[in-house]
Structures are given as C-alpha cells and as structure tokens.
Amino acid sequence: MSTYDIGFPKLGILLENLPNGVSVFGFWIAFYGMIMAFAMVMGYLLAAWQAKRTGQDPDLYLDFALIAIPVCVVAARIYYVIFSWNLYKDNPLQIFNVRNGGLGIYGAVIAAIITAVIFSRVKKVPLGLLVDTGCIGLITGQIIGRWGNFFNREAFGGYAGNSLFAMELPWDEAKLHMSTEAALTLRQYISADNTILVHPTFLYESLWNLCLLIFLLIYTRHKKFDGELFCIYMAGYGLGRFWIESMRTDQLLLWGTSIPVSMIVAAVMVVTGIGFIFWKRRK
C-alpha cells in the first residue's frame, strides 16, 4: 500500500498519508476500483429514478444496465489500451490488470450508444427516450468516477500557481502520471520540499458534470423531443471536456501525432449534439 500527502493549500486542506487502496483478507483492492463500482451502481439508481419520474418502467433500465455496464467497462479499457499501447506492448498481460486505473470514458460512451441502439430495437423502446434517461445515469457515473483519479493521483493538469483549487502533490509521484514533455516543462515549478501545485482537472470535470446533471434534471420537463437531453449531454460534456483536456498532462494522443484524441472526440460530440438539436427543431 502506498501513501502520500495531498493538499489544497489555498483552501487550507491537507490530507496526510492518504492510501490508494485497502487490503481485504490479503487481497489488495484499489480505491479506484471501489469508486468505479459505486459510480456504476449510483448511475443505474439515478437512471431508474429518472425513468419512474418520467412515467417509464424502472426495471427496463435494470435490464439495460446489466448489459451496458460490463460492455462499457470492456470498451473503456480497450479505448485506453489502444491509445496507450506503448505501456502494454512489452507486457500484454497488464492489459487485464485494471485495478490501478486505465479506463477511457469515451470508450464507455461509444459502447453505451451502440448498446442503446441494439437494446432499443430488441426491446422495441424509443431510442430517444432510452438515451435521454440513460444519459442521466451515465453522467452520474462520470461525476463519481472521476474521484477514482483523485486516489490514483492522476488526471491532473499543469502548474496551477495561485489558483484557488491548486492541488499539491509530491513531485516523485506526480511525474509518474504525466508525459515526458510535461514533466520537463513542469520541473521548473518544483518547490523546495519537492512538491508541485497542479490543476486538479478530475475535480474540474466532476464539478462541470454535476452542473450539467442538474441542468438536465431541471430541463427534463421542458424538453422539446425525445433525444434532446442526450444531445444536450453530448454538447455539454464535450464542451467541458475539450476545455479541461487542454490542461491535462497525461493526454492520450492520436497515433504518430501530438493531437489529444479526447479533444477530437469532444469536438465531434459538441457539433453532433448541437447539430441534431437544430436539425430536429427545424423539422
């Protein structure tokens, strides 16, 4: 078990000797995995609540969750491995070790959409209504799941300076979760006690998604067509992720380029979401 201090000096918060997991009967369980499991359960529960709130059968979303969750976990892992192949090419068996992280949310989102399309046809459920309800659970899972990155000391940004939310990490730990180029750039900001202040981008994304979730729940009663909530989710999440991804020091890059693949997918989500809303309203 590894422990490190994590602080938010501007907020007067210091968490000393914070572990990244716990041993249960000799078996190591990372907090990352525990939080991801909790995120999935809460995502389903909120989707079921949304279904009941909108006059649907909540059991339908249990059936969907039992299929979608394992599919999305596998897809999220595949997405991460594809764009981080250098980490696994010399030891492919590590692909199956997910206890310490390594999930790409966009893989899960893409898999969720494909699963929803197939599920709606099999169950003869309107796709728009299904994804409107499902996206409530999806973004709930994203809000909670990002805190797995906190315990893994990953998914953070560059030097935060005087930012209110600046997060203080030991440099020896921080540099393990950033690209070589980012590490070389940030070395100049290492403090005398060998720590560095970075942007907690996992926190930014979690808070952004929370605001988006609140908006979606409020807007539910005012939506103009089935599928609109999902379009808003795509545009809203894509917009936030594009901005936040630009700060990350551990970006997944498109092969052979310096282009962050998540920014490309985020831009596609924004254009698709907004474009479909305009197209639907003009009909």
Q: Using CA atoms, how far apart are residues 281 and 170, in angstroms rounded to an integer?
A: 51
Q: Residue range 36-61: average pLDDT?
A: 97
Q: Assess contact for 228 and 277: CB atoms under 8 A.
A: yes
pLDDT digits (tens, 9 = 90+) for 157-194: 999 988 999 999 989 888 888 888 888 889 999 999 99
Number of neighbouring beta carbons within 10 Å of residue 185: 14
pLDDT (0 to 100) of residue 252: 83
pLDDT at 100 over 80: no
Q: Using CA atoms, how far apart are residues 278 and 276, in angstroms rounded to an integer?
A: 5
Report domain extents, the chain: 6-218, 219-282
* Tokens 């599928």 sit on residue: 227
| Cα-Cα end-to-end distance for the chain | 58
Q: Enter the tokens of residue 108.
A: 């899960």
Contacts of 238 (CB under 8 A, 6+ apart): 265, 266, 267, 268, 269, 270, 273
Specify the pTM: 0.91
Closest of 21, 17, 5, 2 to residue 167, by C-alpha: 5
Beginning with the edge strand found earlier in the chain, give each strand of the sheet holding 3-8 in spatial order: 13-19, 3-8, 167-170, 195-198
Per-residue b or e along 49-62, where b marks 16 or more CB atoms closer than 10 Å to that residue's CB? bbbeeeebebebbe
Please enumerate, by residue number, every residue annotated as part of a binding site. 146
pLDDT digits (tens, 9 = 90+) for 185-238: 899 999 999 999 999 999 999 999 999 999 999 999 999 999 999 999 999 999
pLDDT at 133 over 80: yes
* Tokens 């897809």 sit on residue: 75
Lowest mean pLDDT among 65-74, 79-88, 90-99, 109-118: 90-99
Q: Using CA atoms, how far apart are residues 116 and 211, in angstroms rounded to an integer?
A: 24
